[in-house]
Amino acid sequence: MGLNFLLLTSDATLLKIIQSSFSAATVGLHLRTDAASAMELSARRRLDGFVIDCDDVSGFPDVLAKIRSSRSNKQSVVVAVVNGTTTVSTAVKAGADFALRKPVQDKHLRRFFDVALPRLEREHRRYFRHKVDLPIKLVCDTGETLAGKIVNVSEGGLGLIYFVHGPIKGVVTVQFGLPSAQPQRFQARAQVVWNVRHAMGLRFVNIEPSCRSWFEAWMDSLAAQLQFRKSAQSSNTQHR
């Protein structure tokens, strides 16, 4: 469940220090050297954060505006790297969460992670989708009841396939059983975010208080299972 950042720069020195520091923090990095390709990636993929070289790559305002207006990345952490033309205050007013001046040093990045890591992990967990296979019932505001199957779930919502024709829109009530030694029923109101053929994505609007703690425990269990699988795979690789 690792973090992923996009780095927009054509500066080899900045790239080297970012790669070294992010690798040590086990943060994945996607490099782009021009604004257009950076905006293209941010439009189609959810990322935990962005490092934008403001003064040595053109198009910084456009990239930042694209990030802040996107549905998936508007809450992502943005680090602006300035080099004399853009001031720190200008970068922050434009929407950056953090600003670093060149030359960027490893100690600057360590301080950034000390401050930002809790927020990054919290947001990542909210968006990270665990693969599951569970039956679900949807109740529309019209009273119509639909059956489906959950294919992925996160703290913020879920993806599913459903078995009826025609698009579903608006807010629906979702109900499904939470896997546990003592099965519990989960119920929440959820907004339809996207809908393509027989698949849709839902964002939780309001989770019933009585089942929130059970749902959070299930999320903890899924995260622990994922971590165990990754550790086992790593161990097997090392012993080959």
Pinpoint the residues of the chain covered by CATH 2.40.10.220.
Answer: 130-238
pLDDT per residue of the chain (240 residues) written in tens, 0 to 9: 478 899 999 999 999 999 999 988 888 999 999 999 999 988 888 888 999 999 989 998 899 999 988 877 888 899 999 998 999 999 998 889 999 999 999 999 988 888 887 777 777 666 677 889 999 999 998 888 989 999 999 888 999 998 776 678 899 999 999 987 677 899 999 999 888 878 898 989 999 999 989 998 888 888 778 766 666 665 665 555
Classify domain 130-238 by CATH number.
2.40.10.220
Give the CATH H-level superfamily of domain 4-127.
Answer: Response regulator (3.40.50.2300)
Token couple for 3: 């973090």
Pinpoint the residues of the chain covered by CATH 3.40.50.2300.
Answer: 4-127
Token couple for 31: 């490099």
Give φ, ψ of 57 to 5 degrees.
Answer: -135, 125
H helices of 153-196, where? none
H helices of the chain, where? 12-24, 35-44, 60-69, 88-93, 106-127, 209-238
Please state the pTM of the whole predicted model: 0.60
